[in-house]
Copies of this chain bind each other. A is one copy, B any other.
Amino acid sequence: MDYIKMPMDIEKKSFEIIGEEMGEHDFSEREISIVKRVIHTTADFEYKDLLYIREGSIDRALEVLKNGTTIYTDTNMALTGINKKALKELNCKVECFVSREDIAKEAKERKITRSMAAVEKAVEEGVQFFVFGNAPTALYRLKELIIEGKADAKFIVGAPIGFVGAAESKKEIEKLDLPLITVRGRKGGSTVAAAIVNALMYMIIERE
């Protein structure tokens, strides 16, 4: 059987196909690199219309990344999908607390989701770069903490997926005057969230 076996060739070819099939758009060069990476990750061109990249947000995200930040994410899958080599090169790291015993215990006691308890923990630790691929409740909780002046969020990826609260949670977070990238509607997810973060990192670093 004959098939392409070089990973970077496969990625390059994929991006070409996406570009051809996507047709006309108004995205900037940096924006389109995010949009294409998300479509690459989902094989779903609908993301072209769902991604909301607030003006100025890419610059702010890159500033935070260049400072060597801790990225907080609400799912272990997004954490896994964020490129570790790129993180290391940028002196950044990524954390997710949802599976920790103490978080699970606290969530159970307070009858809240683990995602909420986990984002509270991230806020306590001074995280500035938040990435949500799953939990509307975490996004709601973060908004509350920002309004209360407790969270120092400098950039947010809001990509919870799902049928209960996801779309609404993203609408709510967009009301904040903050740099952010969201996926409107029900779609999104851990792979999409990770793809957005990777696309941002690849704007700064060179890849093999």
Contact = CB atoms under 8 A, between A and B. Distances in A.
Contact of A111 (B1, B5, B79, B168): B5
Contact of A80 (B77, B114, B143): B77
Nearest to A1: B140
Contacts of A201: none
Interface string A82-125: 00000000000000000000000000000111101000000000
Contacts of A6: 111, 113
Contact-size category for A: 35 or more
A3 B44 CA distance: 29
A205 interface: no
A69 interface: no
Copies of this subunit: 2
Q: Is the interface of A mostly helix, strand, loop or mixed?
A: helix
A84 B48 CA distance: 34
B163 A14 contact: yes
Given A5-B137, A136-B3, A163-B14, A188 B43 contact: yes
A198 to B, nearest CB: 12
Nearest to A116: B5
A168 B3 CA distance: 10
Contact of A17 (B80, B143, B164, B169): B164
A187 B112 contact: no
A186 B43 contact: yes
Which residue, A1, A112, A163, A185, has most C-beta atoms of chain B within 10 A?
A: A163
Interface in A1-44: 1, 3-7, 10, 13-14, 17-18, 40-44
Interface string A161-189: 11111101100100000000000011111
Contact of A7 (B44, B113, B168, B191): B113
A144 interface: yes
Contacts of A42: 161, 187, 189
